[in-house]
Amino acid sequence: MSMSVTLTVNRVPHTVQLDDPRVTLLDLLRERLDLTGTKKGCDRGQCGACTILLDGRRVNSCLALAISHDGAEIQTIEGLAEGGALHPVQAAFIAHDAFQCGFCTPGQIMSAIGLIDEGQAGEDPERVREGMSGNLCRCGAYRGITEAVIEATRSMAEDAQEKAA
Amino acid sequence: MNRFEYIRPRSVAEAVAAAAIPGSAYLAAGTNLLDLMKIGVARPGRLIDLNHLPGLDAIETLPGGAVRIGAQVRNAELAHDPEFARRFPAVAEALLSGASAQLRNAATVGGNLMQRTRCAWFQDTASACNRREPGTGCDALGGENRMHAVLGWSEHCIATHPSDFCVPLVALDAVVEIEGAGGRRDIPLADFHLLPGTTPERESVLAPGELVIAVRLPAEAAGFAAHARYAKLRERTSYAFAVVSAAAGLRIANGRIVEARLALGGVAAKPWRAEAAEASLAGAAPDADAFRRAAEIAMAEAKPSGDNAFKIELARRIAIRALTQAAAGTPDRLPALPASSFASNAGAPNMGGLHV
Amino acid sequence: MSDVQRMRHGSSIGLPVTRRDGHDKVTGQARFAADNHPTGMLYAVLATSRIARGRVAFLDVAAARAHVGVVEVMVPGNRPALAIHPDDKSVPFSFKMDLLQDDRVRYAGQSIAVVIAETLEAATEGAALLAPRYAAEAVEVTLDAPGAFVPETVGVGAPAEQRHGDVEAGLDHAAHRIETTYETPLQFHNAMEPHGIVAAWDGDALSIDMPTQGLALTQMRIAAFFGIRMEDIHIRSPFIGGGFGSKLLAGPQVLGILAAKLVGRPVKLVLTRAQMYGPVTHRSATRQSLRLGAAADGQLTAIDHHVRTATSRHDDFLEPSGGISHSLYASPAIATTADAVRLDTGTPGFMRGPGEASGSIALESAMDEMAAACGIDPLEFRLRNYAEVEPITGKPFSSKALRDCYAQGATTFGWAGRPLAPRQMRDADGLLVGWGLGTAIFPAMMFQAEARAVLRRDGTGLVEAGIHDMGQGAWTAFAQIAADSLGLDIDQVEFRGGRSDLPNAGIAGGSGHTATAGGAIHAAGGQAIARLTELAVADPRSPLFGAGNVGVVARDGRLVRWDDESRGETYGDILARAGLDMVEGQGSAAADQATAEQYSLHAHGAVFAEVKVDPELGQVRVTRLVGAFAAGRIINPRMVRSQYYGGMIWGLSFALHEHAAMDVRTGRVMNADLAEYRVPVNADVPSVEAILVEEEDPHVNALGIKGVGEIGITGTAGAIANAVWHATGVRVRKFPIALEAFSGA
Ligand SMILES: Cc1cc2nc3c(=O)[nH]c(=O)nc-3n(C[C@H](O)[C@H](O)[C@H](O)COP(=O)(O)OP(=O)(O)OC[C@H]3O[C@@H](n4cnc5c(N)ncnc54)[C@H](O)[C@@H]3O)c2cc1C
Ligand code: SF4
Ligand code: FES
Ligand code: FES
């Protein structure tokens, strides 16, 4: 049983022939599309390392069946830096030392972008912490992560204002 | 994960027809089902994908004020729907206290109702488990089972239902709309999940192949909006299942409780509606004594199923907490940490203001 | 914030340079081992045992093979031969391994087969289809197992029993005495990156992508297993997704190498999260009995610290929890003793702060209990028992700025005015508030490392050392040291590391990597500069002619006279005139026995914790953590702070969260995941702060570095436990602190 799935990943359309319906979005990205920036920490929705934006919303790609998301729009860590310029969240992660080993980092950054877009947390540190709690960091970079998300929220809001003006 | 046949029906009728074949399972977001398939607990031969079905993803207000939530509405979408959250704040709070933002973005209403227990022995295919494999026994008995049920359990199974969402829903008289080969039927959520008895493998009243298509909250449920809270005790500040939880709703007039709703989570194989406790509150002043009494009544039948006697007292206390907070009034905005002990602690390091 | 002084003009040492690998890590370009995919690669998945002791009686190999996509099933019968037995431990720091040598099962989670397939999905299902049947035997997995024995050594060769003074006399004469027992749980490292490997054979040569904290040791171990030369093994480990001691040597990944050999194709093998609870070592549970005596004025008269711990039935590693009592508090009498049981578990190993972490929470809790018994403020009590020399040996400390740590930490935290009695403070919401303190300590260790430094004619430098970055910031800190050693700007230096074909930089462990490999780099750069200087001072055409080696300093790519900086020339000019493309220096560093015999070498710190506890429900949150640490010279304060934060969060996890729940009937870990094996989430850490206390250490090593990777756990875990007591009045002695403790409160 071969099935084809069409996905737009980082604005590039991909049509993948799937020999196997069991493939998760995470394994599809990592093992079949060579987009290995998205990480697997648990494969069970328990760590957030595999966070991607699926049709604009942050989800755990390890618990999403690729075949079920035919036609979806996906954004991963590889698609963020445009023309070499870092996304504000990426830049803020470096500035605030929001990672150590870097393994959870792609998931943290995608989650942060989702969080900022959801607009529920704003610059309230407690809401940011809660909103980022689906991303474990065993290195314990939480302080930097919270600071980076708040800074990026602020700078993105300022950019948006400037653009609007 | 076993190989399976993937089926993408175009309509509810097609889905129900497809699911009539034994070995079929509905796939909503998959945050529970795929997880269980990965660890070998679920091995369905056919997956019927609900994600492309029309008509299951709406939140509608019905004439008369009831709200109908499609089975495929995502947990986050529902919690953040302003009108819904205003009318049913405890439901929104419960949703937002569950899992993580990522999981809530994916998880569906139907999937949340139907999620399986988190019992460690249920998840471990090398252990005996009557719920997973009828007749094999229950290895949770005699294990480190501090998180197991204290109400409604049997010697055959002591598991709990893990949902937060279902707790305020059952308190608010939610009704589950079901579609099956034989047509459509409505079942009150209170009757939807089954206690284990001698058949713990039967977790709900759904017959094989039946589909949850929506959950309805009656208009009256919005009458508690001014005094409705969810409280959840957990073992880390976020991203953890409830040890015990409670949803409370009050209608208060002239300093007296007109009507109360109370349900408990984490205590039984179903979301536990405490009707006798509710009755004890009707007409009472919303004070500590009344709440303590109600909590005692709610847990009157409780008994430990292992190392978990402490949960009985904690369940009383979480009930009191939810009632107390409900009495104080629903906040305008949900706290930063929904349903948490630390909800109103704004997070700024508290250097002063200590009350000695 | 007083960042430690820069070493010399123009050097970035002591500056908070941002991570040099930062860009790669935030863009997803950083390639971790499992991100590699050589052509023709197959997927290997482990099948692991669900029993803890016995034999594998049957594996349904036929069913696995029949699954579409499965290429091969590796079992003891067809596993390629190894040159040495998996139980061979001739390589330092190695443990006995389970590499399908037979059908015996020694612990739950042991590898019993490997399924190799065209896709990950097929290999995974193939492993499930093996549906093993076992001949199971009864297991022992608790500290109460029969057959307790008294070991000779604990940890890495430390005497299990150490005594100084007469403890019984000290206790007899004490005005206050406490006798308490603390229990710490079974813990697993759970680095976010599961252990993995991509292995490819080319004849007898082996190419490997694998995270390792010890490139050369891993190379040595693999060479021994396969009977091949170390030079023929090429390991790439540019990024390690957390190690914490679990990735020191090749673990079950050796099975990936065997699988690649069996099928003659490259193979990727990555452990599942559940498989991280078996063959990759852990921290054993401990039960620690402490007896303390104190005089009426609060001076300790005796410390007796007995540790019951466990190792596997087949191998030895004993968590050396008593060690912390040797060096921390002054006492005329100290005794540390240990006994242990053998269990049907994997072998324990080095887990961040091995011994120190588990010992610290017990000792700091006991100190707090004694402070309360004496009616003395916990900080004052620790100051009264401040050790001016190392208590058990009488040796002076090479440096010790612990008083400054206490003082700066207390000020920042606002410790003054803390009520002595517990359960006195509440916040505006009625939550109980408590403040606790713990002292942090960690030995300054060194191993052995080499490095190579080159100055090139174009004025740039190249430094090579097989260093390991597991998040501590090695790519950055070593580049800073390298640039400093060559007198160049950091951007002028190419730095190579993370591969096995570079000079052996030892191991990233024991918090000693920066000191050791940094020392080697420092020496290598120094030698390159010395060689260049020799060229210049001997050359009559050089402005430095005759200046003599000591009269010349390297600065910003130039050699100049130290007495007249205007006289000098660039590296490039010197090399050009000498007709050389480059000069090269070699350097090495190792622990200095003489120094270690003369001094006690330790980093110190003080950690202050505030917790809030729900008075009815017992849920605990650590609302503030302030740690002040003195650890010698700080190469990069940004990264060092991150190390402290990380360590302190491990301490938080130790006190409140993580523990493996084992079913004692079967020996299986029942929460072998990341949902129920709880580590802290972001919301658990509302406020963490680290103060870098200035400390200059002229003795410890060439760079004056003590190491910062592990000390943060020590002190913190106890501080939190003590704060919980202070908030609630309930003294919990079993960790992690569970809700049950308060349900009667
Ligand atoms: C790490 C983690 C933490 C979590 N924490 C929490 C928590 O704190 N609180 C909480 O409440 N939950 C928690 N969850 C559970 C989560 O809420 C559920 O996984 C989710 O709600 C399931 O929804 P789904 O759409 O993914 O369902 P699926 O996984 O797709 O389905 C679950 C089950 O329901 C069946 N099903 C789905 N839809 C229908 C339908 N319409 N009709 C009939 N049957 C149907 C499926 O066949 C399957 O058996 C957590 C989950 C994870 C992985
Ligand atoms: S408690 Fe229920 S779910 Fe858990 S092992 Fe027993 S029968 Fe299975
Ligand atoms: S890998 Fe998906 S949540 Fe951990
Ligand atoms: S940076 Fe290592 S796990 Fe987060």
3-class secondary-structure state, position A112: helix
Angle between helices C356-374 and C637-656 (to 10 degrees): 70
3-class secondary-structure state, position C439: strand
Reference C527, options C622, C433, C444, C461; nearest CA is C461
A: neighbours with 3+ CB pairs under 8 Å? B, C
B75-110 confidence digits (pLDDT tens): 999 999 999 999 999 999 999 999 999 999 999 999
Cα–Cα distance measured from residue C84 to residue C745, given in angstroms and rounded to the nearest whole number: 58
Pocket of ligand 3 (CB under 6 A): A 40-43, 45-50, 60, 62
Extract the runs of DSSP E, i.e. beta strands, from chain B. 5-7, 24-27, 46-49, 59-61, 67-70, 175-180, 183-188, 211-217, 228-233, 244-253, 256-265, 272-273
Point out the domain boundary residue: A79, A98, A133: A79
Pocket of ligand 1 (CB under 6 A): A 45-46; B 25-33, 35, 50, 71, 98-99, 103, 106-108, 110-112, 114-115, 162-165, 211-212, 241; C 675
Full set of structural domains in chain C with CATH:
377-445+591-745 (3.30.365.10), 449-589 (3.30.365.10)
Q: Give the alpha-carbon dihedral of A89, A92, A97, A101, to 10 degrees.
A: 20
Q: How confident is the model at residue C723 (pLDDT cuts 50, 70, 90)?
A: very high
Reference C21, options C461, C465, C476; nearest CA is C476
Query: Domain holding A30: CATH number?
Result: 3.10.20.30
Q: Is B82 on the interface with A (CB under 8 A)?
A: no
Judge if A95 and A120 occupy the same domain: yes
Q: How confident is the model at residue C744 (pLDDT cuts 50, 70, 90)?
A: low
pLDDT at B355: 37
Q: Give the alpha-carbon dihedral of C407, C413, C414, C419, to 10 degrees.
A: -100
CB-CB neighbors (< 8 A) of C50 in chain B: 124, 126
Cα–Cα distance measured from residue B228 to residue B247, given in angstroms and rounded to the nearest whole number: 7
Reference B294, options B267, B324, B270; nearest CA is B324
Domain boundaries, chain B: 1-54, 225-328
Query: Domain holding A115: CATH number?
Result: 1.10.150.120
pTM greater than the 0.90 cutoff: yes
Token readout for B275 is 């009707």
Judge if A140 and A117 occupy the same domain: yes
pLDDT at B86: 98
| Cα-based angle B58, B64, B67 (whole degrees, multiple of 5) | 25
User: Rounded mean pLDDT of C473-485?
Assistant: 97
Cα–Cα distance measured from residue C518 to residue B95, given in angstroms and rounded to the nearest whole number: 51
User: Rounded mean pLDDT of B52-75?
Assistant: 97
Reference C480, options C14, C24, C21; nearest CA is C14
Q: How confident is the model at residue A1 (pLDDT cuts 50, 70, 90)?
A: low
Cα of C642 to nearest chain A Cα, Å: 7
User: Rounded mean pLDDT of A130-156?
Assistant: 98
Ligand 2, residue B145: give the atom nearest the CA.
1
Judge if A10 and A61 occupy the same domain: yes
Q: How confident is the model at residue C548 (pLDDT cuts 50, 70, 90)?
A: confident
Percent of chain A scoring above 70 in pLDDT = 99
C219-252 confidence digits (pLDDT tens): 999 999 999 999 999 999 999 999 999 999 889 9
**What is the tally of structural domains in chain A?**
2
Q: Is C471 on the interface with A (CB under 8 A)?
A: yes
B225-328 placed in CATH 3.30.470.20: no
B235-246 confidence digits (pLDDT tens): 999 999 999 999
The yes-or-no verdict on residue C514 having pLDDT over 70 is yes
Token readout for C148 is 């307790």
A37-64 confidence digits (pLDDT tens): 999 999 999 999 999 999 999 999 999 9
pLDDT at A165: 81
pLDDT at C213: 96
Q: How confident is the model at residue C502 (pLDDT cuts 50, 70, 90)?
A: very high
DSSP 8-class letter at B355: B
Q: Considering only alpha carbons, which residue of chain A is nearest residue B344?
A: A126
User: Rounded mean pLDDT of C20-40?
Assistant: 98
Owning domain of residue A111: 88-164
Point out the domain boundary residue: A79, A109, A143: A79
Cα–Cα distance measured from residue C431 to residue C744, given in angstroms and rounded to the nearest whole number: 17
Q: How many residues does chain A have?
A: 165
User: Rounded mean pLDDT of B179-192?
Assistant: 96
Mean pLDDT of chain B: 95
Judge if A55 and A111 occupy the same domain: no
Q: Is C158 on the interface with A (CB under 8 A)?
A: no
| Cross-chain residue pair C192–A22, CB shorter than 8 Å | no
Question: Which of A21, A58, A125 shows the shortest C-beta gap to B101?
Answer: A58
The yes-or-no verdict on residue B61 having pLDDT over 50 is yes
Judge if A110 and A146 occupy the same domain: yes
Q: Considering only alpha carbons, which residue of chain A is nearest residue B36?
A: A44
Nearest CA to ligand 2 atom 3: B122
- The secondary structure element, H or E, covering residue B320 is helix B309-328
Cα–Cα distance measured from residue C578 to residue C534, given in angstroms and rounded to the nearest whole number: 11
On whether the CB atoms of residues C711 and C442 are closer than 8 A, the answer is: yes
| Cross-chain residue pair C433–B354, CB shorter than 8 Å | yes
Reference A102, options C641, C23, C465; nearest CA is C23
The yes-or-no verdict on residue C2 having pLDDT over 70 is no
Percent of chain A scoring above 90 in pLDDT = 93
Q: Considering only alpha carbons, which residue of chain A is nearest residue C240?
A: A101
How would you write B83-127 as a 3-class SS string?
Answer: HHHHHCHHHHHHHHCCCCHHHHHHCEHHHHHHCCCCCHHHHCCCC
C623-649 confidence digits (pLDDT tens): 999 999 999 999 999 999 999 999 999
pLDDT at C9: 58
The yes-or-no verdict on residue C256 having pLDDT over 50 is yes
Residue linked to tokens 């990156």: C193
* Ligand 4 touching residue C572 (CB < 6 A): no
Judge if A8 and A71 occupy the same domain: yes
Percent of chain C scoring above 70 in pLDDT = 99
Judge if A142 and A112 occupy the same domain: yes
The yes-or-no verdict on residue C7 having pLDDT over 90 is no
Q: What is the DSSP string of B118-167?
A: --HHHH-TTS-BTTTSTTS-BTTTTSS-TTS-SSS-BTTB------STHH
Judge if A20 and A57 occupy the same domain: yes
* Residues of C involved in catalysis: 710
Judge if A47 and A94 occupy the same domain: no
Mean pLDDT of chain A: 96
The CB-side HSE value for C363 (13 A sphere, CA atoms) comes to 33
The yes-or-no verdict on residue A18 having pLDDT over 70 is yes
DSSP 8-class letter at A30: I
Point out the domain boundary residue: A25, A52, A79: A79
Cα–Cα distance measured from residue C347 to residue C314, given in angstroms and rounded to the nearest whole number: 8
The yes-or-no verdict on residue B37 having pLDDT over 70 is yes
Question: Helices (DSSP H) in C43-178: which residue ranges?
Answer: 61-66, 120-129, 167-172
Mean pLDDT of chain C: 96
Cα–Cα distance measured from residue A65 to residue A74, given in angstroms and rounded to the nearest whole number: 13
Pick the ligand that lies closest to the CA of residue C643: 4
- Compute CA distances C75 → A149, C88, C95, C128, whole Å: 49, 20, 21, 14
Q: How confident is the model at residue C4 (pLDDT cuts 50, 70, 90)?
A: very low
B206 CB-near residues (< 8 Å, 6+ apart): B114, B178, B180, B212
A71 CB-near residues (< 8 Å, 6+ apart): A6, A7
CATH number of B1-54: 3.30.43.10
ipTM greater than cut 0.95: yes
